[in-house]
Structure 1
Amino acid sequence: MNNRMRALALGLIGATSVAIPAFAVDINVTCRCVIGGVNSGTAQWIEESVIPAFEAAHPDVNVVLNQFGGEDAQLTQQLALDFSTGAGPDVSAFDGFLIPSFVEGGLLKSLDEVAGPEVNDWSGWAALSDGSRALMEYQGKFYGIPLGTDVRMIHTRKDILTEAGIDADTWQPTSWEEVLDAARAIKKIKPDSFPIQLNAGVAMGEATTMQGYWLALLGTGEGVTDENGKFIVSSQGILDTLNLYKTIYVDEQLGDQRAQLLADGRNRSFANFRDGVTALLFEGDYFYRSVTPEGSEFAVPNRDEVMGWVKVPAKEPGAGIRGQDFVTISGGTGFVINPATDAPKEAWAFLSFMNEPEMQNAFQAIQPRITARTDIEIPNSPFLTEASQALLPLTTARPNDPNYNAVSSEIQRMTEAVVSGELSPEDAMAQYKAAVIAIVGEDNTVSLL
């Protein structure tokens, strides 16, 4: 019940001299999660662990989870619309990279501005590493609480690699060419397959930028911005990355070109991996823990026997960012409070409650993950333990820049232009350069060619 209705009800009750009942406060929570579907474990955790425990401790609060099954970009668009009009859920899942643009657009306020100074007294802040806190922080203010971080790798179908004559247990490519050679070997024995999935195109949104473009670009020794924070708009690294896309999707048909251009392309890529059409999928650890478990839509039968993972190699040994042989990038999601919520204190109580150790351990029991809290262990998950230990020391983060989201959209357009065959890598980069200059101004860009 919103404040206006509650005040009206109390006024009517007072006028009739009837005893005033206690009104429950309603809290609506939204996440891209559906039990039995996308991020099923998150939905199960909130519905079966967090809400019952919170309501038992707060009998005057009713919590409802809105399970959103669309794409990430669709939820982002809906939240932008809702927050701009004072509508939407009280608490929502949120990708940390969006915070700068939402803040600068007046769509998000810091937690203490919404819920009060008690936010800063929460004991949980001390349990978050500096890197984890930064995921939901901007200009020294907290805008949400992070659930966890992640790493990215190449997920492999060991059964298909073996079929192609590759030792799946020892295979670790050390260059782009070795990845392409494996894909070619698979294509030779399975002509109708699309061995590689390197996300591209507009429809996949940030999954294109993060799981595709960044992973290739870092392998050339470059990032989206330079050491001074200026956006790189023309470089050999960009051309090398776009030519890799061209090789995979246009020249050799090693990837599913059509899936990169369709609205449901990411789901199609998951289905391709599940069905053995794709054997080398560039994705985050999210793919293992949320997409492929038993009972989910894209569950891989006998997952732990047929699935493996390898590090993403640089273009050539030593050619990666900071001179690395292998590269990865990390992001993080959490939950924020709608600045227009009618129940800021209750919303904060719920948000902080779901991030207490008891609730976080309940989540780990359902779906182990790399958590934001340093006092929560990863239980019984060799995959996540090994991946975090191997890849976190190699990781990179996206720039904390309010223009990043708009620039990322141009990256997606650039990759789509190449993958569709519409433009050459050179012409697509020229188009990207013009678009980014229009967004951030020429003084905030740099050309390396």
Structure 2
Amino acid sequence: MGTLTRRAGVLTGTAVLAATLAACGGSDADGDGDAVHLTISANAVRDGKNTEEAAWIEDWVIPAFEEEQRAAGVEVDVEFEPSGVDDEQFKTRLALDLQAGSGPDIMTLDGIWVGEFAQAGYLEPLPDTDWEGWTQIPEAVQQLASYEDQLYGIPFGTDGRVLFYNKELFAEAGLPTDDWQPTSWDELLDAAEALSELDGVTPIQLNAGTTMGEATTMQGLLPLLAGAGEAVHDDAAGWTGASDGLVAALQLYADVYGGGLGDPVLQQEAQGRDRSFQKFADDEIGILIEGDYFWRSVLNPDGGTAPMADRDETVGWALIPATAPGQGVEGRDFVSMSGGSVRAVNPASDHAELAYELLTFMNSAEAITAAAEDSARITAREDVNETVLADDPMLSFIADEVLPLTSFRPPLAEYPQVSVLLQGATGAVAAGERTPREAADDYATALEEVVGGAG
């Protein structure tokens, strides 16, 4: 990936901005002559969706930023605009506001929306500043907020996919427990074969089909495609069609489900993903590919959706290997996929410079640490992760070992449709309806109709 860039030419520094506003007697752009008015929007609402984020913005960010600016001689009034709707509904409403030249000064976006919003002119590249946070956010994670090698926002939270495994089942199958790390797909299949000797155990859960939705793409097809040395989209070549890498990834599905190492019926059930979580918690699945959400929110003994009382002793994790060492995307031995959210400045803001100050303030080490106080989760900042994840070896593993080698979905408008096509290809192979080559060709034909041709 090329070096990410930001455009130059925007005032930086609280002191410079304060002096500019003070020279004008403060800002009267809002007509009150007293304070600059800024708004923050996120799909979060107290006691509802993403309640922790809403509470952090209202209780910590707003008063702390207003106090900091007041000390610098700038009167600012920050307002939070909460929301608690479906993500697509939030996205549509936000896009309509931006299209009309209005909308919040600071907005929270799913990273997958960045390219689409940038293409539409709803976002502009960030100013070229020496903000200290960029040295703490790995370049791999900066991809979350980038489009065509330019940064349009600041990533503030992310995740990573790994292989989770049950140490007790591994011990029964004669497999390593504390240090299992396959270095190829063959070694992964070898472990699954060993687990297949255990009664009542599904060796591996590899999400497949459209019923699993985006979980199939993010926890299944895309990591395998990266392991085969390819990305689903390349800025220069376009969308990947019926490539050798796609056929190889689909072949692994055929090996798992055609070889009796996975449960193809589970992939078709309406609640199949939740059932796979429960089966893992009940010691009925040996290996499961998932994100850290599985560890902190599903298996969590305290309030998880499928709590596992002995999680910390029984659950192990390992990196997802490439097909063979050095064969992954960018020559990597191991691969992963990540998602996450991005905060950005509205280019139509009447106070874009002060809004940028608020943006960097919200992503400072102090602010992100405050956001992570109640529940440890992976942030975009390495310095914060070192502190807030110190007592959680699994999340520390994601932050230290996975994020430097991870990849992200292409932030393009066509991606959701492409994702559904990929899900269909995996489902057809898992059900034994199509060979890997046939499913890849079917996908490429449908891709032509969606995006006007594969790369």
User: TM-score by structure 2 length?
Assistant: 0.73
The one-letter code sitting in structure 1 at the alignment partner of 2:375 is Q
| CA shift for structure 1 position 350 | 6.7
| Distance (whole Å) between structure 2 residues aligned to residue 164 and residue 33 of structure 1 | 47
| CA shift for structure 1 position 395 | 3.4
| Distance (whole Å) between structure 2 residues aligned to residue 287 and residue 237 of structure 1 | 27
**Partners of 2:297 and 2:303 within 8 A in 1:** no
**Partners of 2:163 and 2:289 within 8 A in 1:** yes
Residue 119 of structure 2 is aligned to residue 104 of structure 1: yes
Residue 381 of structure 2 is aligned to residue 368 of structure 1: no
Residue 314 of structure 2 is aligned to residue 306 of structure 1: yes
Question: Aligned residue for 2:445?
Answer: 434
2:292 to 271, 275, 285: 285
| Distance (whole Å) between structure 2 residues aligned to residue 264 and residue 305 of structure 1 | 27
For each residue in 1:286-328, what CA deviation from the matched residue of structure 2 results, as whole angstroms up to 9, or x when unmatched? 3323443322323322221111101222334444334444333
Superposition pairs of residues 36-435 of structure 1, within 5 angstroms: 43-44=51-52, 46-57=53-64, 63=80, 65-66=82-83, 75=87, 77-86=88-97, 93-104=108-119, 108-110=122-124, 124=133, 128-139=137-148, 142-191=151-200, 193-225=201-233, 228-249=236-257, 251-293=258-300, 294-336=302-344, 352-379=360-387, 380=390, 381-399=392-410, 403-435=414-446
**Partners of 2:45 and 2:82 within 8 A in 1:** no
The 1:136–1:392 alpha-carbon spacing in structure 2 relative to 1, beyond 3 Å, is closer
| CA shift for structure 1 position 212 | 0.7
Gaps of 5+ in 1: 1-21, 69-73
**Partners of 2:385 and 2:399 within 8 A in 1:** no
| Distance (whole Å) between structure 2 residues aligned to residue 140 and residue 167 of structure 1 | 42
**Partners of 2:385 and 2:396 within 8 A in 1:** no
Question: Aligned residue for 1:5?
Answer: none
| CA shift for structure 1 position 100 | 1.3
**Partners of 1:30 and 1:89 within 8 A in 2:** no
**Partners of 1:205 and 1:409 within 8 A in 2:** yes
| Distance (whole Å) between structure 2 residues aligned to residue 89 and residue 297 of structure 1 | 36
| CA shift for structure 1 position 65 | 4.8
User: TM-score by structure 1 length?
Assistant: 0.74
Question: Aligned residue for 2:6?
Answer: none
Q: Secondary structure at the match of 1:378?
A: helix
| CA shift for structure 1 position 242 | 1.2
**Partners of 1:101 and 1:405 within 8 A in 2:** no
| Distance (whole Å) between structure 1 residues aligned to residue 401 and residue 345 of structure 2 | 34
| Distance (whole Å) between structure 2 residues aligned to residue 220 and residue 169 of structure 1 | 27
| Distance (whole Å) between structure 2 residues aligned to residue 270 and residue 339 of structure 1 | 42
For each residue in 1:157-193, what CA deviation from the matched residue of structure 2 results, as whole angstroms up to 9, or x when unmatched? 21222233323113222332332333333333233x3
The one-letter code sitting in structure 2 at the alignment partner of 1:101 is E
| CA shift for structure 1 position 264 | 4.1
| Distance (whole Å) between structure 2 residues aligned to residue 149 and residue 26 of structure 1 | 24
The 1:363–1:258 alpha-carbon spacing in structure 2 relative to 1, beyond 3 Å, is farther
**Partners of 1:28 and 1:63 within 8 A in 2:** yes
The 1:348–1:200 alpha-carbon spacing in structure 2 relative to 1, beyond 3 Å, is farther
Question: Aligned residue for 1:11?
Answer: none
| Distance (whole Å) between structure 2 residues aligned to residue 126 and residue 244 of structure 1 | 38
| CA shift for structure 1 position 136 | 1.4
**Partners of 1:196 and 1:280 within 8 A in 2:** yes
RMSD: 4.1
Q: Secondary structure at the match of 1:189?
A: coil
Superposition pairs of residues 12-23 of structure 1, within 5 angstroms: none
| CA shift for structure 1 position 142 | 4.8
**Partners of 1:104 and 1:402 within 8 A in 2:** no
The 1:255–1:65 alpha-carbon spacing in structure 2 relative to 1, beyond 3 Å, is farther
Q: Secondary structure at the match of 2:425?
A: helix
The 1:206–1:110 alpha-carbon spacing in structure 2 relative to 1, beyond 3 Å, is farther
Q: Percent identity?
A: 37
Q: Secondary structure at the match of 2:240?
A: strand
| Distance (whole Å) between structure 2 residues aligned to residue 154 and residue 323 of structure 1 | 20
The 1:321–1:255 alpha-carbon spacing in structure 2 relative to 1, beyond 3 Å, is same
| Distance (whole Å) between structure 2 residues aligned to residue 207 and residue 125 of structure 1 | 30
Q: Secondary structure at the match of 2:429?
A: helix
**Partners of 1:378 and 1:384 within 8 A in 2:** no
Q: Secondary structure at the match of 1:269?
A: helix
